[in-house]
Amino acid sequence: MPVRAVSLDLFDTLVDIHMDRLPLVEIAGRRVPSTYGLLHAASLQWHALDFEHFAAELGAHDRALRGEYYDRHLEFSTLDRFRTFGERIGVADLAFARKLTELHMDEVERQVVVPGHHAALLEALGRRTKLALCSNFTHAATARAILARAGLLRHLDAVVISEEVGLRKPRAEVFNAVSQQLGLPAREILHVGDSLDADVAGAAAVGSPTAWITRRVADPEAALAAYTGAKPVHRIADLSEVEALIDARR
């Protein structure tokens, strides 16, 4: 089946994100990269928690969200994350959630690196086929800002971000939203992403051909061995290989 569109994951596919470069803080006796220290310092006008208790409460809150939402592939926005955390520690001011959201996302965005050839690559691909973003992310405005500053957003015919869908890949509804925005059936959309569980399994379930990109996968063979879902149709090391996939499928 010919490919008439390419759907691309965002992080570690279109752009790289290095969360290990976040500021190091000590939490429960371990030094870890995290925004927790920045969030605590910026929020002291709303509460009197020391860092240890702040980190413990936020950590417990995040673990609860993971079980209630993310593990079930339901989205929960960053703003709602900090709004409900505020309620947990007795802060009802929405300005608290907005401040922490802005600070957290600014710091996360600073860890993004854009491969230098991707803007030209998307421009070339866009002359041949439709292009879409299909991303799990809890703050759509930041995702769009990252794409715009990288010169990538203008090449995209559709943008689907989980915060705006309310669900996360591998849910079929996320991939169906890409099909709807592009006006094409899933079988004609090649989906490219780095996650076997979210990207490959999710896209395969709706009938899309898949390309697993391994540029940022630490041990691809180990990842494949541990994975029990639909195997990727294609395996690539770089987005520059996508054009050849399109040619081969024609």
Q: State which of 52, 82, 110 marks the end of a domain.
A: 110
Residue 159's CB: how many other CB atoms inside 10 A?
Answer: 20
If asked whether residues 117 and 102 sit together in one domain, one would say: no
If asked whether residues 11 and 23 sit together in one domain, one would say: no
Can you give the pLDDT at residue 1?
77
Whichever domain contains 211, its CATH number is 3.40.50.1000
If asked whether residues 155 and 106 sit together in one domain, one would say: no
Average pLDDT over residues 103-115: 98
Q: State which of 110, 144, 165 marks the end of a domain.
A: 110
**How deeply is 68 buried, as exposed, middle or buried, from its count of CB atoms within 10 A (0-12, 13-18, 19+)?**
exposed
Can you give the pLDDT at residue 141?
98
If asked whether residues 157 and 211 sit together in one domain, one would say: yes
If asked whether residues 52 and 155 sit together in one domain, one would say: no
Number of domains comprising the chain: 2
Position 26 confidence tier, pLDDT thresholds 50, 70, 90: very high
Question: Strands 24-27 and 30-33, how do they pair?
Answer: antiparallel
Q: Tell me: pLDDT of 237 over 80.
A: yes
If asked whether residues 121 and 11 sit together in one domain, one would say: yes
Residue for token digits 């993971």? 66
Q: Tell me: pLDDT of 250 over 80.
A: no
> What are 148-165's pLDDT values in tens digits?
999 999 999 999 999 999
Can you give the pLDDT at residue 113?
97
Q: What gap in Å lies between CA 44 and CA 30, rounded to an integer?
A: 23
If asked whether residues 26 and 141 sit together in one domain, one would say: no
Domain enclosing residue 127, as ranges: 5-16+113-249
Q: State which of 61, 90, 110 marks the end of a domain.
A: 110
Helix (H) and strand (E) counts in the chain: 11, 10
Q: What gap in Å lies between CA 14 and CA 215, rounded to an integer?
A: 11
If asked whether residues 36 and 9 sit together in one domain, one would say: no
If asked whether residues 181 and 245 sit together in one domain, one would say: yes
> What are 37-94's pLDDT values in tens digits?
999 999 999 999 999 999 999 999 999 999 999 999 999 999 999 999 999 999 999 9
Position 249 confidence tier, pLDDT thresholds 50, 70, 90: confident
If asked whether residues 184 and 78 sit together in one domain, one would say: no
Position 35 confidence tier, pLDDT thresholds 50, 70, 90: very high
Residue for token digits 């959201």? 101
> What are 161-188's pLDDT values in tens digits?
999 999 999 999 999 999 999 999 999 9
Backbone angles phi, psi at 112, to 5 degrees: -90, 135
Question: Which H or E element spans position 32?
Answer: strand 30-33
> What are 186-220's pLDDT values in tens digits?
999 999 999 999 999 999 999 999 999 999 999 99
Can you give the pLDDT at residue 123?
97
Residue 8's CB: how many other CB atoms inside 10 A?
Answer: 26
If asked whether residues 57 and 172 sit together in one domain, one would say: no
If asked whether residues 87 and 127 sit together in one domain, one would say: no
